[in-house]
């Protein structure tokens, strides 16, 4: 089938309307084809290896060699059409009891429980910049509402796949340092929302948890996990250092030798291992997970609300200054890591591997 220039323009517009954000490799392919279609063969100098996003884009374009503009246009349109869903998906209803309208979360509050659901299931609930900000907002609202308990959980198969690496992609090479500082500041503020949260905070870990969604568990009061859950913090693989106060909470919870295995050497824990090491309160069979956990939480909310909050604060206040200090140092350290060659190379190599799959 032969497409017209008009089809090409239409495809261009459809890209911006896609309901699900395409994966990185698709985005790079789209970029390459678009440039090839509109400019012709790659005619710009190869960017520095440190400028990894532009380098990846350059690679995508340059790999098309001498493909004609016309055939690039055709491929572009075909690729876009393959991404457009056959049927428009139904407008999702706002569940009863919903609070603010969130884009990346579903937040409800009823029966004295405020439930914050990470809601990017097709991205395995990876946390992008939008979600970082929305979680902070949801925690602020939950802190001040009438609920007794606040629950964080994930929609779909994953609990959370950690920091969305696309957050790195939005960085212009010129502003790399500026951008690292901003990310560090946002991360610091994000973690402080967990340190400061004044009510019992409960993680309902419905599936695999990765990165910052694991390290933050040290700041939760109760962690219930499905036996399908795993706990994985591959920071070193990506040239990064631990955050979420885990450099302090993990050695405290499981001893330094077990914590090092996770935080430096990428050991992935099963739910049972995480429980026996004190990171998880209790593990439930996946088949009855939701039923058992929610029955328990509903029983908990009959306990005196203020007593629970005061007791939780008593347990946390004793180390609050330490937690602020640790969070600060971890963020400083990460800013340095993000600007290091080790980290850039590791993220680059990770993205390339991913796009080859």
Between CA 207 and CA 215 the distance in angstroms is 15
Nearer to a second copy, 2 or 306 (CB): 306
Q: Which stretch binds a second copy (CB under 8 A): 13-21, 123-131, 284-292, 298-306?
A: 298-306
CB 87 within 8 A of CB 26: no
Q: Which of 18, 94, 295, 310 binds a second copy (CB under 8 A)?
A: 310
Contacts with a second copy: how many residues (CB under 8 A)?
64
256 touches a second copy by CB under 8 A = yes
| Closer to a second copy by Cβ: residue 125 or 240 | 240
Exactly one of 145, 177, 178, 336 binds a second copy (CB under 8 A); which one? Answer: 336
Shortest separation between residue 91's beta carbon and a second copy, angstroms: 39
Contacts 24+ apart (CB under 8 A), 95-103: 99/138, 99/141, 99/145, 100/137, 100/138, 100/141, 102/134, 102/137, 102/138, 103/130, 103/134
How many C-beta neighbours within 10 Å does residue 174 have? 9
Question: Interface mask (CB under 8 A) for a second copy, residues 11-40, using x and -?
Answer: ------------------------------
36/241 with CB nearer a second copy: 241
Choosing from 294, 300, 324, 350, the residue that interacts with a second copy (CB under 8 A) is 300
DSSP annotation string for 99-152: -S--SSEEEEEETTEEEEEE--GGGTT-B-HHHHHHHHHHHHHHHHSS-SEEEE
By CB under 8 A, residue 254 contacts a second copy: yes
> Which range in 30-38, 104-112, 156-164, 249-257 contacts a second copy by CB under 8 A?
249-257
Task: Select from 50, 81, 176, 308 the one that contacts a second copy (CB under 8 A).
Answer: 308
Spatial distance between the Cα atoms of 286 and 340, rounded to a whole number of angstroms? 41
Could you tell me which stretch among 85-93, 116-124, 136-144, 325-333 binds a second copy (CB under 8 A)?
325-333
Instruction: Return the number of other C-beta atoms located less than 10 Å from residue 144's C-beta.
Output: 10
Count of H-run helices and E-run strands, the chain? 15, 9
- Residue 177 in the binding site for a second copy (CB under 8 A): no
Both tokens of 147, joined, read 């609920």
Q: Please select the residue that binds a second copy; options are 4, 282, 288, 295, rule is CB under 8 A.
A: 282
Nearer to a second copy, 306 or 356 (CB): 306
User: 46 — phi, psi (to 5°)?
Assistant: -65, 125
Calculate ∠ Cα 252-273-243, nearest 5°. 45
**CB 339, min distance to a second copy, A:** 12
Element (H, E) at 284: strand 282-284
Residues near a second copy (CB under 8 A): 200, 217-218, 220-223, 235-237, 239-242, 247-249, 251-261, 263-266, 277-282, 300, 303-308, 310-312, 314-315, 317-318, 322, 325-326, 329-330, 333, 336-337, 340, 342-343, 346
């Amino acid at each position: 089938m032969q497409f017209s220039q008009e089809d090409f323009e239409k495809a261009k517009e459809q890209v911006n309307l896609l309901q699900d954000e395409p994966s990185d490799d698709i985005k790079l392919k789209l970029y390459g084809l678009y440039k090839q279609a509109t400019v012709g063969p790659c005619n710009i100098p190869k960017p520095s290896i440190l400028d990894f996003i532009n380098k990846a884009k350059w690679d995508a374009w340059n790999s098309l060699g001498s493909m004609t503009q016309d055939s690039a246009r055709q491929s572009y349109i075909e690729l876009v059409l393959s991404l457009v869903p056959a049927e428009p998906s139904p407008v999702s209803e706002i569940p009863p009891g919903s609070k603010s309208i969130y884009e990346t979360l579903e937040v409800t509050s009823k029966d004295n429980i405020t439930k914050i659901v990470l809601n990017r299931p097709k991205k395995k609930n990876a946390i992008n910049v939008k979600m970082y900000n929305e979680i902070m907002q949801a925690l602020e609202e939950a802190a001040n509402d009438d609920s007794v308990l606040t629950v964080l959980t994930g929609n779909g198969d994953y609990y959370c796949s950690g920091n969305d690496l696309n957050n790195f992609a939005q960085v212009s090479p010129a502003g790399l340092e500026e951008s690292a500082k901003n990310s560090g500041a946002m991360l610091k503020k994000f973690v402080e929302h967990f340190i400061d949260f004044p009510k019992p905070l409960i993680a309902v870990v419905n599936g695999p948890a990765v990165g910052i969604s694991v390290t933050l568990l040290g700041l939760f009061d109760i962690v219930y996990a499905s036996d399908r859950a795993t706990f994985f913090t591959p920071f070193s693989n990506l040239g990064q250092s631990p955050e979420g106060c885990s450099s302090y909470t993990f050695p405290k919870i499981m001893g330094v030798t077990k914590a090092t295995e996770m935080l430096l050497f990428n050991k992935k824990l099963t739910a049972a291992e995480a429980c026996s090491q004190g990171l998880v309160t209790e593990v439930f069979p996946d088949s009855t997970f939701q039923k058992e956990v929610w029955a328990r939480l509903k029983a908990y909310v009959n306990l005196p609300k203020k007593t629970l909050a005061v007791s939780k604060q008593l347990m946390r206040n004793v180390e609050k200054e330490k937690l602020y200090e640790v969070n600060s140092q971890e963020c400083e350290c990460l800013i340095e890591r993000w600007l290091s060659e080790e980290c850039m190379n590791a993220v680059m190599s990770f993205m390339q591997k991913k796009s080859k799959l």
